[in-house]
Amino acid sequence: MNLCKASIVFLFGITFLGFILRISNLASSPAGLYIDETSIGYNAYSLITTGGDEHGKFLPLFFEAFGEYKLPIYIYSVAFVQLFLGPTDLSVRLPAVIFGTLTILLIFFLSKELLRNNSNQTLKVYVPHLAAFLLAISSWHLQFSRPGFEASVGLFFLTLALYTFFRAVRENSTFVLSISTLSFVLTLYSYNSARIVTPIVLATLLILYFKKFPLFTWVKVLLIGTVIALPFIIFSVSLEGLLRARQVSIFFQSTNNSILKQFLINYWANISPFYLFMKGDPTIAHLTSHRMSLLYLVESPFFFFGFAMLFIKRSREYFFVLILLLTAFIPPAISTLNPHALRSVLVLPATVFISALGFGYFLAIFKSKDFQKIAAGVFVAILSISTLRFLNVYHNKYVIDAGWDWQVGIRRASQRVLEVENKYNDIYFDLDPRRIPLVWYLKINPKLYQTNPNKNHLGKYHINENISSVHGLYIGLQQPEGKLLEYVYYPNNTVAYGIWEF
């Protein structure tokens, strides 16, 4: 690796900063789990207590949830963490933090590999560190590597696959190439957007670097990769594997435009500079007014400069970065809800590298090393101010007003019920029709949940059932005949639910 001591110190500092930004107030900001997080958490809890998922299927490769199927790697990662932390909100989010932090390191080494054949020493010195720093503070990445989203794992394995591929080419190593192939396969088992991105990326790399290895080597590693990916391939073309696509794809859902026109409209919505650098994603905002840009406005001139240099300074590595940039926006473009930052998150290795590259070429204009250091320091300082503004909006405004979407009301109501449940034989919940958030927060015994034919009546708990008892608790927004004990509030002090004794 040949890293000097100063480089190691900078890299450690950047990585530590990224970890702190992701781990701080992890279980309390947002103060509840998103509905997909509760599904992941409860299935992991079920795995470690019964060996099966919520439906009782033993060690499944794909997890049925909400009328679709979830991929295995993140759920099994959470299950591993729960062996030590138990079924807590922290256990659901900690793997995302770990994978997200490790991705910062990988971006640094991937950037070094992409510049390995570049003769410009300024780029080699500044671009890898800046790319890592940009990911560490990225508002885009932070929003998906704090909550327990599968995207964090998919991005990690994609970055690992790319780094090991370029390293394998440099070292002419079949072993490292095998690691890269395995990592590419693991992206498929990590995040659904990889179904589109990974095959295109692999095909591009194969075309660009085919002559770097003998034909037999390619056949061998690709055959091994295909065998490992075979369960996913079979699943993805099955009726179960196509459920999600049927729910969200423009190929299955009717639109007012032709498929091609709708695709182009969606694609522009996701790649538009106005969206990336200013407006931000309404999907992330969860119907609040707190829109947050995905890329910081201050990096925009360097992003466009770097983007231009991909064409001006032609190389295979630059061409590949361009292909990755364009490819990663395809998954949201073929979906019905646009723009969608989560579905395009695999673009981040390209965006941070391009912004860092543009700034590197800007520094290279000036020969003075002292000026380069001052300019880099000023840029980092402005980026840090932008990050602080984002963190303020995220932690002090957004998570407060979006508490309803992070199940904070269900979490607080469940905690209160658990404190007093011994006083009542029947407890009725009139909440979200999807029961998993409540099942997670009440920590319903997974064995009971698996074997009980009526999933809405679990012991003393009645979920969305009519009151049929003469004495008990009711939690909801209706007002039954009885005594109001208290209200449960969202973080913005609006009423979430009432708790009545009847």
Omega cis (within 30) before 301:
no
Q: How many CB atoms lie within 10 A of CB 124?
A: 15
Question: Per-residue pLDDT tens for 353-374?
Answer: 999 999 999 999 998 999 999 9
Please classify residue 249 by burial: count the beta carbons closer than 10 Å to its beta carbon, then call 0-12 exposed, 13-18 middle and 19+ buried.
Answer: middle
Please report, for the chain, the start and end positions of each structural domain, with discontinuous segments joined by +.
5-401, 408-501
Distance of CA 404 to the CA centre of its chain: 20
**What ranges in 328-423 are assigned the alpha helix state H?**
330-333, 348-364, 369-393, 399-401, 408-420
For residue 229, the one-letter residue type is A
**Residues 193, 151: Cα–Cα separation, whole Å:** 8
pLDDT band at 285 (very low <50, low <70, confident <90, very high): low
pLDDT, mean of residues 371-394: 96
- pTM for this predicted structure: 0.95
**Residues 410, 424: Cα–Cα separation, whole Å:** 19
**Residues 488, 469: Cα–Cα separation, whole Å:** 23
| Helix (H) or strand (E) run with residue 495 in it | strand 495-501
- Candidate from 130-139, 309-318, 410-419, 460-469 with smallest mean pLDDT: 460-469
Question: Per-residue pLDDT tens for 24-49?
Answer: 999 999 999 999 999 999 999 999 99
**C-alpha angle 390-306-159 in degrees, rounded to nearest 5:** 70
Tokens 């064995």 belong to residue: 447
* Neighbouring C-alpha atoms within 13 Å toward the C-beta of 405: 12
How far CA 54 is from CA of 34, 66, 104, 112, 440, in Å, comes to: 18, 12, 34, 44, 11
Residue 2 predicted with pLDDT over 70: no
What the block records as the tokens of 175 is 């072993």
Question: Per-residue pLDDT tens for 221-270?
Answer: 999 999 999 999 999 988 887 877 777 888 887 778 898 999 999 999 99
Name the residue among 22, 19, 161, 42 with its Cα closest to residue 407.
42
- Candidate from 263-277, 281-295, 400-414, 422-436 with smallest mean pLDDT: 281-295
**Residues 351, 370: Cα–Cα separation, whole Å:** 27
